Amino acid sequence: MQMPIDVPPPALESSVRLPVTRLRAGLVERVEDRVAEEVPVALVYNGISHAVMLASPLDLEDFALGFSLSEGIIDSPDDLLDFELQHSDLTGTRSMVVDGQAREEVGLTLDLRVTLRCFMRLKERRRTLAGRTGCGLCGTESLAEAVRPVRREAAVLEVKAAALTRAMQELAAQQDLQRGTGAAHAAAWCALDGAVQFVREDVGRHNALDKLIGRIARDGLDVGAGFVAVTSRASYEMVYKTASAGIGLLAAISAPTGLAVRTAQAAGLVLAGFTRGDHTTLYAHAERVLGR
Protein backbone atom coordinates (compact mmCIF):
# COMPACT_ATOMS: atom_id res chain seq x y z
CA MET A 1 0.00 0.00 0.00
CA GLN A 2 1.53 3.29 -1.09
CA MET A 3 0.00 6.32 0.57
CA PRO A 4 1.86 9.54 -0.21
CA ILE A 5 0.60 12.56 1.66
CA ASP A 6 1.24 16.26 1.23
CA VAL A 7 2.23 18.39 4.19
CA PRO A 8 -0.66 20.80 4.90
CA PRO A 9 0.16 24.39 3.95
CA PRO A 10 0.40 27.05 6.68
CA ALA A 11 -3.32 27.82 6.30
CA LEU A 12 -4.04 24.26 7.47
CA GLU A 13 -2.00 24.11 10.63
CA SER A 14 -3.65 22.37 13.58
CA SER A 15 -4.04 25.71 15.38
CA VAL A 16 -3.79 29.43 14.77
CA ARG A 17 -3.00 32.43 16.96
CA LEU A 18 -5.76 35.04 17.08
CA PRO A 19 -6.20 38.36 18.89
CA VAL A 20 -8.73 38.04 21.71
CA THR A 21 -10.08 40.15 24.55
CA ARG A 22 -9.74 38.52 27.95
CA LEU A 23 -11.74 39.64 30.98
CA ARG A 24 -10.34 38.83 34.40
CA ALA A 25 -11.62 40.28 37.67
CA GLY A 26 -12.88 43.39 35.92
CA LEU A 27 -9.65 43.92 33.99
CA VAL A 28 -9.53 43.92 30.20
CA GLU A 29 -6.57 42.37 28.38
CA ARG A 30 -5.98 42.23 24.65
CA VAL A 31 -3.79 39.23 23.99
CA GLU A 32 -3.13 36.46 21.49
CA ASP A 33 -4.73 33.06 22.03
CA ARG A 34 -4.07 29.71 20.38
CA VAL A 35 -7.23 28.34 18.75
CA ALA A 36 -7.69 24.84 17.32
CA GLU A 37 -8.48 24.64 13.61
CA GLU A 38 -11.11 22.42 12.02
CA VAL A 39 -11.67 21.94 8.31
CA PRO A 40 -14.16 19.98 6.20
CA VAL A 41 -12.57 16.75 5.00
CA ALA A 42 -14.27 14.82 2.19
CA LEU A 43 -13.56 11.10 1.88
CA VAL A 44 -13.87 9.98 -1.73
CA TYR A 45 -13.59 6.31 -2.66
CA ASN A 46 -12.74 5.43 -6.26
CA GLY A 47 -14.25 8.73 -7.37
CA ILE A 48 -17.44 8.49 -5.28
CA SER A 49 -17.89 10.88 -2.35
CA HIS A 50 -18.87 8.97 0.78
CA ALA A 51 -18.67 11.34 3.76
CA VAL A 52 -17.58 14.80 4.80
CA MET A 53 -16.19 15.22 8.30
CA LEU A 54 -15.05 18.27 10.23
CA ALA A 55 -11.61 17.38 11.53
CA SER A 56 -8.24 18.71 12.64
CA PRO A 57 -5.77 18.74 9.70
CA LEU A 58 -3.39 16.36 11.51
CA ASP A 59 -2.38 12.75 10.77
CA LEU A 60 -4.75 12.51 7.82
CA GLU A 61 -3.07 9.39 6.47
CA ASP A 62 -3.97 7.63 9.72
CA PHE A 63 -7.46 9.13 9.60
CA ALA A 64 -8.10 7.84 6.07
CA LEU A 65 -7.04 4.31 6.97
CA GLY A 66 -8.70 4.23 10.39
CA PHE A 67 -12.01 5.62 9.14
CA SER A 68 -12.04 3.16 6.24
CA LEU A 69 -11.45 0.23 8.61
CA SER A 70 -13.75 1.28 11.44
CA GLU A 71 -16.62 2.03 9.06
CA GLY A 72 -16.25 -1.37 7.36
CA ILE A 73 -15.40 0.08 3.96
CA ILE A 74 -12.22 -2.00 3.80
CA ASP A 75 -11.30 -5.19 5.63
CA SER A 76 -7.55 -4.73 5.98
CA PRO A 77 -4.88 -2.07 5.29
CA ASP A 78 -4.01 -3.89 2.06
CA ASP A 79 -7.46 -3.00 0.68
CA LEU A 80 -6.47 0.67 0.59
CA LEU A 81 -4.37 0.84 -2.56
CA ASP A 82 -3.62 4.55 -2.84
CA PHE A 83 -4.19 7.84 -1.08
CA GLU A 84 -4.02 11.42 -2.29
CA LEU A 85 -4.69 14.61 -0.36
CA GLN A 86 -6.07 17.58 -2.26
CA HIS A 87 -6.62 21.13 -1.02
CA SER A 88 -9.34 23.41 -2.32
CA ASP A 89 -10.84 26.80 -1.53
CA LEU A 90 -14.55 26.66 -0.78
CA THR A 91 -15.08 29.56 -3.14
CA GLY A 92 -18.45 31.23 -2.93
CA THR A 93 -19.83 28.94 -0.26
CA ARG A 94 -17.72 29.67 2.78
CA SER A 95 -16.49 33.19 2.17
CA MET A 96 -16.26 34.99 5.50
CA VAL A 97 -15.48 38.63 6.19
CA VAL A 98 -12.87 38.98 8.95
CA ASP A 99 -11.67 42.46 9.95
CA GLY A 100 -13.10 43.86 6.72
CA GLN A 101 -11.38 41.31 4.48
CA ALA A 102 -12.97 38.34 2.74
CA ARG A 103 -11.41 34.98 3.48
CA GLU A 104 -12.13 31.79 1.58
CA GLU A 105 -12.26 28.79 3.89
CA VAL A 106 -10.14 25.81 2.88
CA GLY A 107 -11.36 22.22 2.51
CA LEU A 108 -9.57 18.94 2.02
CA THR A 109 -10.39 15.95 -0.15
CA LEU A 110 -8.99 12.52 0.64
CA ASP A 111 -9.02 10.62 -2.66
CA LEU A 112 -8.83 6.95 -1.74
CA ARG A 113 -8.49 4.02 -4.11
CA VAL A 114 -9.68 0.72 -2.72
CA THR A 115 -9.88 -2.80 -4.10
CA LEU A 116 -12.68 -3.63 -6.52
CA ARG A 117 -14.26 -5.99 -3.99
CA CYS A 118 -14.51 -3.26 -1.36
CA PHE A 119 -15.66 -0.67 -3.88
CA MET A 120 -18.47 -2.87 -5.20
CA ARG A 121 -19.59 -3.55 -1.65
CA LEU A 122 -19.63 0.19 -0.92
CA LYS A 123 -21.61 0.87 -4.10
CA GLU A 124 -24.16 -1.79 -3.19
CA ARG A 125 -24.50 -0.36 0.30
CA ARG A 126 -25.10 3.11 -1.11
CA ARG A 127 -27.57 1.78 -3.70
CA THR A 128 -29.51 -0.09 -1.00
CA LEU A 129 -29.69 2.97 1.21
CA ALA A 130 -30.44 5.50 -1.53
CA GLY A 131 -33.42 7.70 -0.81
CA ARG A 132 -33.77 6.85 2.86
CA THR A 133 -33.77 9.43 5.61
CA GLY A 134 -30.32 10.10 7.08
CA CYS A 135 -29.68 9.52 10.77
CA GLY A 136 -26.57 11.67 11.02
CA LEU A 137 -23.92 8.98 11.53
CA CYS A 138 -20.85 8.69 9.36
CA GLY A 139 -21.90 7.35 5.97
CA THR A 140 -25.14 6.05 7.46
CA GLU A 141 -28.48 6.69 5.82
CA SER A 142 -30.94 4.44 7.65
CA LEU A 143 -31.89 3.56 11.20
CA ALA A 144 -30.99 -0.09 10.59
CA GLU A 145 -27.47 0.98 9.68
CA ALA A 146 -27.14 3.20 12.75
CA VAL A 147 -26.69 0.31 15.19
CA ARG A 148 -24.52 -2.35 13.60
CA PRO A 149 -23.17 -5.60 15.06
CA VAL A 150 -19.44 -5.58 15.67
CA ARG A 151 -17.71 -7.44 12.87
CA ARG A 152 -15.12 -9.23 15.02
CA GLU A 153 -14.56 -10.23 18.62
CA ALA A 154 -12.37 -8.02 20.75
CA ALA A 155 -9.07 -9.43 21.97
CA VAL A 156 -9.29 -11.13 25.37
CA LEU A 157 -6.83 -9.48 27.75
CA GLU A 158 -6.28 -8.78 31.41
CA VAL A 159 -4.83 -5.60 32.91
CA LYS A 160 -4.24 -4.29 36.38
CA ALA A 161 -6.35 -1.40 37.60
CA ALA A 162 -3.15 0.61 38.05
CA ALA A 163 -2.57 0.42 34.29
CA LEU A 164 -5.72 2.46 33.66
CA THR A 165 -4.54 5.11 36.12
CA ARG A 166 -1.12 5.30 34.48
CA ALA A 167 -2.63 5.50 31.00
CA MET A 168 -4.78 8.52 31.81
CA GLN A 169 -1.94 10.30 33.59
CA GLU A 170 0.46 9.83 30.69
CA LEU A 171 -2.22 10.69 28.12
CA ALA A 172 -2.84 14.05 29.80
CA ALA A 173 0.86 14.88 29.54
CA GLN A 174 0.98 14.15 25.79
CA GLN A 175 -1.99 16.22 24.56
CA ASP A 176 -0.11 18.99 22.79
CA LEU A 177 -3.08 20.38 20.83
CA GLN A 178 -5.41 20.25 23.83
CA ARG A 179 -2.85 21.90 26.09
CA GLY A 180 -2.43 24.75 23.63
CA THR A 181 -6.07 25.28 22.68
CA GLY A 182 -8.39 23.50 25.14
CA ALA A 183 -10.47 22.28 22.18
CA ALA A 184 -9.20 18.81 21.26
CA HIS A 185 -9.94 15.22 22.18
CA ALA A 186 -7.25 12.56 22.28
CA ALA A 187 -6.98 8.79 21.91
CA ALA A 188 -3.95 6.87 23.13
CA TRP A 189 -2.57 3.41 22.41
CA CYS A 190 -1.32 2.00 25.71
CA ALA A 191 0.76 -1.04 26.58
CA LEU A 192 -0.81 -3.52 28.99
CA ASP A 193 1.04 -1.84 31.87
CA GLY A 194 -0.57 1.49 30.94
CA ALA A 195 2.47 3.09 29.30
CA VAL A 196 1.26 5.36 26.49
CA GLN A 197 2.88 4.41 23.17
CA PHE A 198 1.45 7.18 20.99
CA VAL A 199 -1.44 9.66 20.88
CA ARG A 200 -3.68 11.07 18.18
CA GLU A 201 -5.66 14.31 18.65
CA ASP A 202 -8.59 15.92 16.88
CA VAL A 203 -11.43 18.34 17.57
CA GLY A 204 -13.73 15.33 17.15
CA ARG A 205 -13.49 12.36 19.50
CA HIS A 206 -14.41 9.87 16.76
CA ASN A 207 -11.78 11.34 14.46
CA ALA A 208 -9.09 11.02 17.12
CA LEU A 209 -9.98 7.36 17.59
CA ASP A 210 -10.04 6.71 13.84
CA LYS A 211 -6.59 8.24 13.54
CA LEU A 212 -5.34 5.99 16.33
CA ILE A 213 -6.86 2.89 14.73
CA GLY A 214 -5.25 3.87 11.43
CA ARG A 215 -1.82 4.16 13.05
CA ILE A 216 -2.23 0.78 14.78
CA ALA A 217 -3.24 -0.89 11.52
CA ARG A 218 -0.56 0.85 9.45
CA ASP A 219 2.15 -0.35 11.85
CA GLY A 220 0.69 -3.86 12.03
CA LEU A 221 0.57 -3.80 15.83
CA ASP A 222 -0.77 -6.68 17.91
CA VAL A 223 -4.16 -5.47 19.16
CA GLY A 224 -3.97 -7.97 22.01
CA ALA A 225 -0.89 -6.26 23.40
CA GLY A 226 -2.51 -3.02 24.50
CA PHE A 227 -5.65 -0.98 25.01
CA VAL A 228 -7.16 2.41 24.16
CA ALA A 229 -7.67 5.39 26.47
CA VAL A 230 -9.77 8.36 25.35
CA THR A 231 -10.54 11.81 26.73
CA SER A 232 -14.25 11.67 26.00
CA ARG A 233 -17.40 9.84 26.88
CA ALA A 234 -17.76 6.26 25.70
CA SER A 235 -20.54 6.57 23.13
CA TYR A 236 -21.77 3.65 21.05
CA GLU A 237 -19.61 4.71 18.12
CA MET A 238 -16.46 4.85 20.27
CA VAL A 239 -17.15 1.33 21.54
CA TYR A 240 -18.08 0.07 18.09
CA LYS A 241 -14.93 1.43 16.45
CA THR A 242 -12.66 0.08 19.21
CA ALA A 243 -14.20 -3.39 19.21
CA SER A 244 -14.32 -3.56 15.41
CA ALA A 245 -10.55 -3.01 15.41
CA GLY A 246 -10.23 -6.10 17.63
CA ILE A 247 -8.99 -4.08 20.61
CA GLY A 248 -9.94 -5.59 23.97
CA LEU A 249 -10.32 -2.61 26.32
CA LEU A 250 -11.54 0.97 26.10
CA ALA A 251 -10.98 3.34 29.02
CA ALA A 252 -12.84 6.64 28.84
CA ILE A 253 -12.50 9.68 31.03
CA SER A 254 -16.28 10.22 31.05
CA ALA A 255 -19.49 8.19 31.02
CA PRO A 256 -20.73 5.52 28.61
CA THR A 257 -24.23 5.21 27.24
CA GLY A 258 -26.48 2.21 27.79
CA LEU A 259 -26.15 1.20 24.14
CA ALA A 260 -22.37 1.43 24.42
CA VAL A 261 -22.37 -0.86 27.47
CA ARG A 262 -24.57 -3.46 25.75
CA THR A 263 -22.38 -3.33 22.64
CA ALA A 264 -19.22 -3.81 24.74
CA GLN A 265 -20.75 -6.75 26.58
CA ALA A 266 -21.75 -8.46 23.34
CA ALA A 267 -18.39 -7.80 21.66
CA GLY A 268 -16.26 -8.99 24.58
CA LEU A 269 -14.80 -5.51 25.13
CA VAL A 270 -13.76 -4.37 28.59
CA LEU A 271 -15.37 -0.97 29.06
CA ALA A 272 -14.17 1.44 31.74
CA GLY A 273 -15.73 4.85 32.31
CA PHE A 274 -15.01 7.78 34.61
CA THR A 275 -11.34 6.77 34.60
CA ARG A 276 -9.84 9.65 36.52
CA GLY A 277 -6.99 9.57 39.02
CA ASP A 278 -7.10 6.21 40.79
CA HIS A 279 -10.85 5.81 40.22
CA THR A 280 -12.65 3.98 37.43
CA THR A 281 -16.04 2.37 36.89
CA LEU A 282 -16.14 -0.94 35.02
CA TYR A 283 -19.25 -1.41 32.89
CA ALA A 284 -18.45 -4.55 30.89
CA HIS A 285 -16.22 -7.58 31.54
CA ALA A 286 -14.97 -6.23 34.87
CA GLU A 287 -13.43 -9.61 35.71
CA ARG A 288 -10.55 -8.85 33.34
CA VAL A 289 -9.36 -5.84 35.34
CA LEU A 290 -7.25 -7.12 38.22
CA GLY A 291 -6.53 -5.54 41.59
CA ARG A 292 -9.92 -3.95 42.05
Give the catalytic positions in this structure: 135
Rounded Cα distance, 123 and 118, in Å: 9
Residue of 213, 106, 198 whose CA lies nearest to 152: 213
Rounded Cα distance, 212 and 199, in Å: 7
Q: What distance lies between CA 224 and its chain's CA centroid? A: 20
44: which residues sit within 8 A by CB, 6+ positions away?
A: 50, 109, 110, 111, 112
Rg (CA), the chain: 20
Rounded Cα distance, 256 and 113, in Å: 35
Q: Give the pairing type, strands 196-202 and 226-230.
A: unpaired
Q: What DSSP designation does 264 have?
A: H
Half-sphere exposure of 178 (CA within 13 A, CB side): 20
Alpha carbon distances (Å) from 225 to 66, 138, 156? 18, 29, 10
102 close to 95: Cβ distance less than 8 angstroms: yes
Question: In 25-94, where do the E strands start and end?
Answer: 27-36, 39-45, 48-55, 80-89
Helix (H, G, I), strand (E, B) or coil at 26: coil
Residue of 117, 41, 52, 48 whose CA lies nearest to 80: 117
